[in-house]
Amino acid sequence: MSKKNNNDKLMIFALGGVGEIGKNMYVIQYGADIVVIDSGLKFPEEDMLGIDIVIPDISYLTENRDKVRGIVLTHGHEDHIGGLPYVLKNLNVPIYGTRLTLGLVENKLKEANLLGDTKRILIDEDSEIQLGNLTATFFRTNHSIPDSVGVCIETPEGNVVHTGDFKFDHTPVNGQFANLHRMAEIGTKGVLALLSDSTNAEKPGFTPSERNVGIVLEDIFRKAEQRVVVATFASNVHRIQQVVNAAESTGRKITVIGRSMVNVVSIASELGYLNVPDGMLIEPEEMNRMAGNRVVVLCTGSQGEPMSALTRMARSSHRKVDIMPGDTVIIAATPVPGNEKYVGRTIDELFRLGANVIYSGSNSGVHVSGHGSQEELKLMLNLMKPKFFIPIHGEFRMQRRHAILAEAVGVEPQNIFITEIGEIVEIQNGAARRAGKVTAGNVLIDGLGVGDVGNIVLRDRKLLSQDGILVVVVTLSKQNGAIVSGPDIISRGFVYVRESEGLLDEANRIVSSTLQRLMSEKVNEWASLKTSVKDSLGRFLYEQTRRRPMILPIIMEV
Amino acid sequence: MSKKNNNDKLMIFALGGVGEIGKNMYVIQYGADIVVIDSGLKFPEEDMLGIDIVIPDISYLTENRDKVRGIVLTHGHEDHIGGLPYVLKNLNVPIYGTRLTLGLVENKLKEANLLGDTKRILIDEDSEIQLGNLTATFFRTNHSIPDSVGVCIETPEGNVVHTGDFKFDHTPVNGQFANLHRMAEIGTKGVLALLSDSTNAEKPGFTPSERNVGIVLEDIFRKAEQRVVVATFASNVHRIQQVVNAAESTGRKITVIGRSMVNVVSIASELGYLNVPDGMLIEPEEMNRMAGNRVVVLCTGSQGEPMSALTRMARSSHRKVDIMPGDTVIIAATPVPGNEKYVGRTIDELFRLGANVIYSGSNSGVHVSGHGSQEELKLMLNLMKPKFFIPIHGEFRMQRRHAILAEAVGVEPQNIFITEIGEIVEIQNGAARRAGKVTAGNVLIDGLGVGDVGNIVLRDRKLLSQDGILVVVVTLSKQNGAIVSGPDIISRGFVYVRESEGLLDEANRIVSSTLQRLMSEKVNEWASLKTSVKDSLGRFLYEQTRRRPMILPIIMEV
């Protein structure tokens, strides 16, 4: 146990992952030592037009860079490791992860040219790592990617446990059980604060075992008379293993399609997390020469993503795989909220091509969640018996539901903290309180730009997307302010011009007469001219069309 | 039975409602007589930026306006009547509907100044109406709005039945049972073709009775110690009746909030479809003076619509109702696909305000569907025993699933037609075949514009929404083509300018040097100048930012 300084306090807060699903990043600080847990990304909300990905604002960490002892990674999902290439550019600290997690991270860092500069420390369940005055130990969990762990941070104030993402799978595909005994041991020693995964806090009961999916897959593979196409998350190595197993036992070969799927299959096989018999994997060209009932296509696109392999197949625009009548397509995933329509469209297109489509909406058993349901969340709470409880990894209603579960198993209501990003829970001498906020928020990434798109740019994109833009160009004489050329009106995204010539002609006249009136009134500041053109044209267009396009007046002088 | 002419054929097709949920409009034509069933609208897909609503392309009907005998309405939902104000402007034909349906339609036509010009004929279940050579009769169904009917069109070729939207509710709230006997009678007489609602064809079992919701509501009302807020679809009069009943039996008064809710409560009460005891409805001001456990707020916003009553309450920006800690909020609806995130956000905000939120995601029993599940669809098929079957009102996968159900109950596979909009099923002398297509598609409505926004405008809006726009203005000399002023670059929605001055300066230099190079090469057609500016600037910006803003070069001459 490390030394305790009476003035030091324990601070716990999230820079991402609370009040949202995604960009997980949690901070445990005691005195001059900061440990960061995970560094994820989030996909943009529908009002973040044109944005590619979102990462947490890490100002607090860069301002306290001398205190940051490292980033501990719980597992290799994008919402836990995807922010690393951006974060490590500004914060060169060691990262700690299990073998598969580091394998996936290294691939990312290579692409970002950060591999050489980043200290990477391999951990396993039995590691004990020193992070300044703090000590981290680990416990294995079950999740939809192998090598997932929870973390226990020993601090002078007491132990803080972060579960990572977890479920309790009593028949795990890889035989790696969640380490109940280690968790019980940690609980026995005493847990000051527990941070636990709230994703499925709204779901009653127990999440089924991943193994159930394997049984369903094998049955489908056996009965299918033609090819079977399976789309799932590339990172779900357990699921992929079960596809391999089902293919093996039904005498089928597998062709792997989609960049991230090829990538994960290769890393996971290399590191020994995926066991693929020799000769099982074949090239698409070979697959196309074989009988349909001898092959499986394993691909990306389970979320209906527009550019993914399955979506291209559904649109008959994939270079190597054509869906044929009689093929069976399994979408082994649940649509992430917001993707329902894309997935629905993909299913429709596959049905139109004559495929038999099996998807999770049809109670087909081809998918189970990687996150524990209410009974599992209570089991974790009862194993850890924390004094303080902070529900994480979820939107507010999930955190709230998780808090109710914690109360139900005996955590004192006043010891439960549902926090927002940046909001500090401070613990000193066994007492906890909310203690203000650190800087926290979204950093938007658009192309190569990190944080150069803010509210004004997004507001303009929103305006442009709704009703388009009109550019009004007019040249005035330097001598007398008279119109030398124009006004010319160019519109984009407003109205189909050929059908609306009359409208634009009239708009033209309105701009001319507005300018002439202003000149006769001797108004000649450009700002006033521009505002008047905007106002009069805007009013006219709204009356005529009930639309409010962006109006951009450009006035030149010669 | 009407006369048969040996050259005439029966044609059945949808102008909307197949391959989609929304804008239902079906056409039954025999010889020179056309009957239209329903005239709905659809809300825009996420790629229809800035569009308000979508209606079917009715070119076929306007081109054959002398044959159209009328529009028969099955019930008063927006996806069945919402297109009328646009359709009737171009096609002045009589409309037929039950009392509540016409009540809701009249309100719409009044707003569109079409009430006086539209012939409206009231029907009930026992009506028999003559539509040219065709006869329409009706049968009562259960649905999430009262006064819903199915239609039987007698044609010389045989009877065509359109179910409308339906479920079988054996304990209906208003005591109006689906008319099983009438359906059986129609089936006994013989059904040539059945068009049936596919919405819930993916759902096994039986949809629960609306009455179940009433029991749950009363229980919640009784236990709630503060105010209860109920959000539901305004058109669900049964649900509203149950809110009234539960309020009455628990001694609460109701205040109604939201334009469409106020509207429906008034129309439905007036017409006798809603039974509200005297003194039950109170103004919000009065409600605010009463004890919380004596009141209910009935409001719109169950889909998390940004401007709706519940959303405003959740954001603490409603003028008349503040959500207080301890209030109970019931969201008695399921999110329509695409709205999940909006609803989730509203729930989160309500929880943050301290409300206890009860919503359908939590298996709470506060909502049931208005559409029949698989067992009900089979019941309808078995009652009607059609020779030909056309699954309607659903996306392709639902139509497909419905077709499988029809096969299961004994419809011949070759007699089942899954069609797209416009696709004709032609029946002559008892034989049916696919017979080409009529014009069909989406007409987009944006503000006052009907159909003036097409693919080019939408493509531009999409581009603008992703990366914004750069307008490049430059003035050249008429004499020698030299640059007189500019280039000036104005950007919107591209990048936050203050942080990217260097980038825009460099962009400026690139435009100048491009123009200078072209002049030295004596290129002076404007089209070439513009293309070169676009290309060189586009390439530079993509290299620097990986974004592709729209570039609008404006070249002027003086």
Residue pLDDT, tens place only, A255-279: 999 999 999 999 999 999 999 999 9
CB contacts of A340 in chain B (<8 Å) are 337-338, 340
pLDDT along chain A (558 residues), means of 10: 70 97 97 97 91 96 97 97 96 97 95 94 96 97 97 97 97 93 97 98 95 96 96 95 97 96 95 95 94 96 92 95 96 88 94 94 85 97 98 97 97 97 97 96 90 87 94 85 84 79 88 88 81 93 92 87
For tokens 């194993």, name the residue: A383
Give how far A169 is from chain B: nearest CA, Å: 23
Would the CA dihedral through B140, B142, B143, B147 be positive or negative?
positive
Nearest to A468 among B45, B460, B556 (CB): B460
Annotated catalytic residue B181: no
CB contacts of A362 in chain B (<8 Å) are 202
Task: State the virtual CA torsion across B345, B347, B349, B351 in degrees, nearest 10.
Answer: -150
Degrees to nearest 5, angle at CA B171 with B169 and B172: 70
CB contact under 8 A, A460 and B468: yes
Interface test with chain A among B461, B472, B478, B530, by most A beta carbons within 10 Å:
B461
ipTM: 0.87
CB contacts of B552 in chain A (<8 Å) are 471, 490, 492
pLDDT of residue A271: 94
Structural domains of chain A in order of their starting residue, each with its CATH number = 10-205+369-450 (3.60.15.10), 210-362 (3.40.50.10710), 455-557 (3.10.20.580)
CB contacts of B558 in chain A (<8 Å) are 475, 484-485, 558
Token pair of A288 as six digits: 């196309």
As a three-state string, the secondary structure of B167-219 is ECCCCCCCCCCCCHHHHHHHHHHCEEEEEEECCCCCCCCCCCCHHHHHHHHHH
Give how far A268 is from chain B: nearest CA, Å: 31
Annotated catalytic residue B66: no
**Is the model's pLDDT at B2 over the cut of 60?**
no
- Tens digits of per-residue pLDDT, B177-233? 999 999 999 999 999 999 999 999 999 999 999 999 999 999 999 999 999 999 999
Give how far B347 is from chain A: nearest CA, Å: 7
Nearest to B473 among A463, A545, A556 (CB): A556
Percent of chain B with pLDDT over 70: 98
CB contacts of B544 in chain A (<8 Å) are 448
* Residues of A identified as active-site: 197, 371
Q: Which residues contact B38 (CB under 8 A, 6 or more apart)?
A: B17, B24, B25, B26, B71, B72, B73, B74, B80, B81, B164
Token pair of B364 as six digits: 């709470």
CB contact under 8 A, A468 and B464: yes
Classify A329 as helix, strand or coil: strand
**Is the model's pLDDT at B373 over the cut of 70?**
yes
CB contact under 8 A, B452 and A500: yes
pLDDT of residue A374: 97
Please say whether the beta carbons of A230 and A93 come within 8 A.
no
E strand residue ranges, A302-366:
328-331, 356-359
Distances (CA, A) of B126 to A218, B24, B28, B34, B123: 55, 24, 21, 22, 8
Burial class (CB in 10 A: 0-12, 13-18, 19+), A402: buried
CB contacts of A545 in chain B (<8 Å) are 446-449
Percent of chain B with pLDDT over 90: 83
Q: Which residues contact A493 (CB under 8 A, 6 or more apart)?
A: A464, A465, A467, A468, A469, A549, B49, B50, B457, B458, B460, B461, B463, B464
- Catalytic-role residue among B197, B238, B402, B467: B197
Could you tell me which of A7, A90, A76, A170 has the C-alpha nearest to residue A443?
A90
CB contact under 8 A, A492 and B475: no
- Tens digits of per-residue pLDDT, B503-535? 888 999 999 999 888 888 877 787 888 899 999
Please say whether the beta carbons of B161 and B139 come within 8 A.
no
Would the CA dihedral through B176, B178, B179, B180 be positive or negative?
negative
E strand residue ranges, A112-211:
120-122, 128-131, 134-140, 149-155, 158-162, 191-197
Token pair of B226 as six digits: 């503060």
For tokens 């005998």, name the residue: B69
If you average pLDDT over residues B421-446, what whole number do you get? 96
CB contact under 8 A, A397 and B554: no
Could you tell me which of A295, A296, A301 has the C-alpha nearest to residue A314?
A301
Residue B522 phi, psi dihedral angles, 5° rounding: 65, 25
Interface test with chain A among B329, B359, B465, B540, by most A beta carbons within 10 Å:
B465
Please say whether the beta carbons of A310 and A302 come within 8 A.
yes
Interface test with chain B among A398, A443, A455, A464, by most B beta carbons within 10 Å:
A464
pLDDT of residue A498: 65
d(Cα A38, Cα A67) in Å, to the nearest integer?
17
Please, how many CA atoms are within 13 Å of residue A91, restricted to the half-sphere of its CB? 26
DSSP A237-256: HHHHHHHHHHHHHTT-EEEE
CA terminus-to-terminus distance, chain A: 79
Classify B378 as helix, strand or coil: helix
CB contacts of A495 in chain B (<8 Å) are 449, 452-453, 457
Residue B458 phi, psi dihedral angles, 5° rounding: -65, -40
CB contact under 8 A, A493 and B447: no
Token pair of B494 as six digits: 């591209």
- pLDDT band per the 50, 70, 90 thresholds, residue B479: confident
d(Cα A450, Cα B152) in Å, to the nearest integer?
62
d(Cα A321, Cα A317) in Å, to the nearest integer?
9
B342: nearest CA partner in chain A: A338
Give how far B484 is from chain A: nearest CA, Å: 8
Nearest to A496 among B338, B457, B558 (CB): B457
How many Cβ pairs within 8 Å bridge chains A and B?
192
- Tens digits of per-residue pLDDT, A131-188? 999 999 999 999 999 999 999 999 999 999 999 999 999 999 988 999 999 999 999 9
- pLDDT band per the 50, 70, 90 thresholds, residue B362: low
CB atoms within 10 A of CB A286: 12
Nearest to B397 among A347, A469, A495 (CB): A347
Question: Per this entry, what is the length of chain A?
Answer: 558
More confident of the two residues B401 and A500: B401
A362: nearest CA partner in chain B: B202
Nearest to A485 among B400, B500, B558 (CB): B558
CB contact under 8 A, A492 and B351: no
d(Cα A26, Cα A56) in Å, to the nearest integer?
10
Nearest to A202 among B204, B361, B547 (CB): B361
Interface test with chain B among A111, A350, A397, by most B beta carbons within 10 Å:
A397
Nearest to B448 among A361, A457, A545 (CB): A545
pLDDT of residue B1: 45
CB contact under 8 A, A550 and B492: yes
β-pairing verdict for B228-231 and B328-331: parallel
pLDDT of residue A168: 97
CB atoms within 10 A of CB A475: 21
Q: What is the mean pLDDT of chain B?
A: 93
Token pair of A389 as six digits: 């409880």
pLDDT of residue A1: 45
d(Cα A125, Cα A146) in Å, to the nearest integer?
13
Token pair of A220 as six digits: 């489908």
E strand residue ranges, B371-422:
386-392
- Tens digits of per-residue pLDDT, B127-152? 999 999 999 999 999 999 999 999 99
pLDDT of residue B363: 72
pLDDT of residue A502: 85
CB contacts of A471 in chain B (<8 Å) are 471, 552, 554
β-pairing verdict for B550-557 and B483-492: unpaired
B248: amino acid identity, one letter: E
- Tens digits of per-residue pLDDT, A14-47? 999 999 999 999 999 999 999 999 999 999 988 8
For tokens 């009860």, name the residue: B358
d(Cα A146, Cα A143) in Å, to the nearest integer?
7
Could you tell me which of A557, A516, A558, A556 has the C-alpha nearest to residue A536?
A516
